[in-house]
Chain A
Amino acid sequence: MKLDSKIPSGAIHEKWSNRKFEQKLVNPANKRKYKVIVVGSGLAGAAAAASMAELGYQVECFCFQDSPRRAHSIAAQGGINAAKNYRNDGDSVYRLFYDTVKGGDFRAREANVYRLAELSVNIIDQAVAQGVPFAREYGGLLDNRSFGGAQVSRTFYARGQTGQQLLLGAYAALSRQIGLKAVKMFARTEMLDVVVVDGHAKGIVVRDLQTGEIRTHAADAVVLCTGGYGNVFYLSTNAKNCNVTATWRAHRRGAGFANPCYTQIHPTCIPVSGDHQSKLTLMSESLRNDGRVWVPLKKGDKRKAADIPDTERDYFLERKYPSFGNLAPRDIASRAAMTVCDEGRGIGDTGLGVYLDFRDSIQRLGKEAIAARYGNLFHMYAKITAEDPYSRPMRIFPAVHYTMGGLWVDYDLQSTIPGLFVCGEANFSDHGANRLGASALMQGLADGYFVIPYTIGGYLAGQKPGSVDGKRPEFAQAAASVAEMTKRLLGIQGKRTVDDFHRTLGKIMWSKCGMARSEKGLKEAIASIQGLRADFWKDVRVLGDGMNVNQSLEKAGRVADFLEFGELMCRDALERRESCGGHFREEWQDDGEARRDDQNFCHAAVWEHKGEPKDAVRHQEQLHFENVHLAVRSYK
């Protein structure tokens, strides 16, 4: 597997301009001859499909939801970063770049991160032009707030529904192109394979989730915008149907998978209430602007929060990280919370929780001001827990939230399969080993609106339009293998439900490949997953048939992929013998702080599929830090 990152020449701030200039162009009259498939309709997918259609390409867009508006980007709460420096507080493109490289614990590609910071300002302009109702001040100008890992206020927001408003903006742009017949939209349609012809991605296999029909679509290029794999843990803040299937099946067809072990555990989620729990709910990181995180100083203190005086409270983030305080980055804050719980100072019935307390902010600013900032989040918290967060502190606990790993892509967002591009959370490129808050929306939209529309032209310019049609045997073969898998899943008729297997896998992943990982635990996890996977193919029960809506069948295919992917994730975690960002190996730490090994691990690990996850081959893309110099990441 050849890993050519294709980083453009020039100084860091010239690279993107250089690439845009060097790139071959497709002339406007020829653009309409090319067809591009976009899989996924979240921020990256909707933005990419709309923008490419505006340029003149024929676009086909696919999503498994009943409407493109429902992609999980919609659930992002807190905000989107942009280096506008509207606050006059010293922000700049360079500072956002610096913060993101450092926040990612020096495991991201500098050139990509710089481009992201550069494009951040265009995103806000674009969104406002589309009518995205960002929060404003009385003078009519845009408001900002602070987020973890930054000492400037650069986060734009729309109450606690920023993802929703940005996605509706992208969905509106996409809908406009659908109305103009420039995009053909296929909702309730799930991608189940990539078709590779002569080494290039030239189409996909899909299953119509309503009729069960399996069919193929041919195109000149394929763009995957299919999100992250957090649901490998069963419980996560992802939507129930988020899955790894599109990227995993692309991996099986030859796309390298980079850094699968990098997962983000978000510090502020509502704690688990029981075994029936089907998902975890995030409470936006923005709450840490005004909420203070604490646990009782004494072990096993069961008094009500209000009865514990300040002198007997441990505001542990403020104590450990005085310069960032409650706004320490997510990985750091999550681990700190886990540590105090391990010490027996966790709160609630399970002892797995810490307080997020608004008492002081409400006293300082008034209840109304807090309600204006976070009203919908407080409302959601009250709905779920039946507790009033205005009068008693929220209970929070870390949960799986985002995955930094993904398909390996070069600077142009092209995977190791030519013609297969990957945008948004589905790729690995910009966040290194830890993503800073309010950067996911930024990356999804930067990739979709401003990167892929340019870089895809560079690839297409070298391709004859429509050179491959759906009559090539590779299409029928790929469709047959999908049909075969469907038949196999329906034919097992075992005893255990799909959810039962998924839950078991999730428990293995959370206990052995979650917040803290060790060689022993990871080896055990690999063995357990292999066993579970064998059981799955013998004992899963999927009822009904393939020719109708069959939600168990959909889940079964996704869980089958998670059962392979989980093993690769553990192998990646095992081989990365260092701690960095969200990847914490117990063997490499300094008193609870991650210890990186830049000598041996300053690289992205890229896995090549060789049949079984145990046979996958690990390749490396060396990372070079020419601008932000390698240093211990400290928020003290």
Chain B
Amino acid sequence: MKLTLHIWRQQKRSTAADFKQDGRMVRYELDGVSPDMSFLEMLDVLNEQLIKKGEEPVVFDHDCREGICGSCSLMIDGEPHGPQSGTTTCQLHMRSFRDGAEIWIEPWRAKAFPVVKDLMVDRSAFDRVVQAGAFISVNTGAPQDANAIPVPKADADRAFDAATCIGCGACVAACKNASAMLFVGAKVSHFMHLPQGRVERETRARNLVAAMDKEGFGNCTNQNECEAACPKEIPVRVIAEMNREFLRAKAVEEPPSGKRVGGDG
């Protein structure tokens, strides 16, 4: 296959205020691409050729290359992770493109995800949101036997569907508001369906929503682009669930600082 690539090249880290700083689209011609290559293997081939020509290779995040670590990103022809649904960029194969195709490759664009270099972005905002409360506050030690808390299979399955989020950020990149509500909703949904997670449901909902706003993610206007872009096909119901949890938390009196509301309410 023969391809024409247009790739965003940027030397310096962009600031939140100017996310297009110093970058530009650069055109590359690439020949000898096999349809069995993954999209990232195609970029590997380009990079090998660039190095041989004495040009700096294109920087992009990647690691497991089996669709689970969430490192890879890339806006491909305007779609996060490219044209195939339910697929990360590393699992996208060149057989999804036609010979002679012209492909535009850009980094995620969002105020909360500054570009680090070329196609690499800083997604640490997601980590900070998680640190604000996407956990169950148990220390390592000797909890009760695992089978002491039965969980109805349907609940366990719903929790699992949300827990499959890989934290890649496609939902944010797809959203015209750069909202992180699918990501945060997935966290809320995962814990709200488990009895262990219900103990801290109010504080979790309040803290996660506050952290998400603080990072500069936008709000949801029900376009559902996030669900379409999500490589793990996390449903938008998690956003509704998060909103419900948040409203519910608002209806419950906030605890005096330093104390948590216990119980199921």
Contacts and interface: CB of A to CB of B under 8 A. Distances in A.
Interface in B5-49: 11, 13, 34, 36-38, 40-41, 44-45, 48
Contacts of A124: 146
B180 interface: no
A125 B147 CA distance: 8
Interface in B150-209: 150-153, 156, 159-160, 163-164, 166-167, 190-191, 194, 196-197
Contact of A131 (B59, B133, B152, B196): B196
Nearest to B151: A140
B140 A47 contact: yes
Contacts of B222: none
Contact of A65 (B11, B40, B71): B71
Interface in B109-151: 116-117, 120, 122-124, 126-127, 130-147, 149-151
A616 to B, nearest CB: 31
Contacts of B133: 179
A86 B145 CA distance: 11
B69 A130 contact: no
Given A67-B167, A125-B146, 16 more contacts: A50-B140, A67-B126, A70-B71, A130-B135, A131-B197, A133-B160, A175-B131, A176-B131, A278-B38, A278-B40, A383-B84, A384-B91, A497-B48, A543-B55, A549-B116, A549-B117
Contacts, number: 212
A241 B63 contact: yes
A128 interface: yes
A69 B95 CA distance: 30
Interface in A43-73: 47, 50-51, 54, 65-70, 72
Contacts of B213: none
Contact of B147 (A68, A141, A178, A210): A141
A141 B156 CA distance: 10
B56 interface: yes
Contacts of A163: 68
Given A240-B63, A497-B48, A543-B54, A549 B120 contact: yes
B254 interface: no
Interface in A252-298: 273-274, 276-279, 281-282
24 contacts: A66-B123, A69-B127, A70-B167, A75-B66, A126-B138, A128-B143, A129-B136, A131-B196, A133-B156, A136-B151, A140-B150, A140-B152, A159-B160, A172-B135, A173-B138, A176-B135, A274-B36, A278-B38, A278-B65, A383-B67, A383-B93, A384-B38, A497-B48, A544-B56
B70 interface: yes
B140 A210 contact: no
A124 B145 CA distance: 8
Given A130-B138, A131-B197, A276-B41, A74 B146 contact: no
A622 interface: no
Contacts of B87: 383
Nearest to B146: A128
A135 to B, nearest CB: 8
Interface in B189-241: 190-191, 194, 196-197
Interface in A425-451: 449-450
B62 interface: yes
Task: List the 6 closest A-B pairs by CB distance, nearest first.
Answer: A140-B150, A179-B131, A172-B135, A129-B143, A128-B146, A51-B140
A169 to B, nearest CB: 9
Contacts of A185: 127
A384 B62 CA distance: 17
Interface string A131-170: 1011111111110000000000000001101011100100
B34 A210 contact: no
B140 A74 contact: no
A282 B67 CA distance: 12
Interface residues of A, number: 81
Nearest to A54: B139
Given A75-B64, A278-B40, A551 B57 contact: yes
Given A131-B194, A176-B137, A239-B69, A278 B64 contact: no
A126 B126 CA distance: 25
Contact of B69 (A47, A70, A138, A548): A70
B140 A125 contact: no
A11 interface: no
B136 A75 contact: no
A127 B136 CA distance: 11
Contacts of B197: 131
Contacts of A527: none
A286 to B, nearest CB: 15
Contact of A69 (B37, B59, B167): B167
A380 interface: yes
A128 B196 CA distance: 8
B64 A172 contact: no
A499 B51 CA distance: 11
Contact of A74 (B68, B137, B152): B68
Contacts of B51: 497, 541, 543, 552
A187 interface: yes
B209 to A, nearest CB: 15
A210 B36 CA distance: 32
A125 B144 contact: yes
Interface in B63-107: 63-71, 84, 86-87, 91, 93, 95
A379 interface: yes
Nearest to A123: B146
Which of B44, B69, B143 lies at the interface centre, i.e. has the most chain A CB atoms within 10 A of its CB?
B69
Nearest to B70: A70
A59 B252 CA distance: 36
A361 interface: no
B153 A136 contact: yes
Contacts of A241: 63
Interface in A172-204: 172-173, 175-176, 178-179, 185, 187
A453 to B, nearest CB: 7
Contacts of A306: none
Nearest to A179: B131
Contacts of B150: 136, 139-141
B64 A72 contact: yes
B127 A161 contact: no
Contact of A133 (B91, B130, B194): B194
B38 A129 contact: no
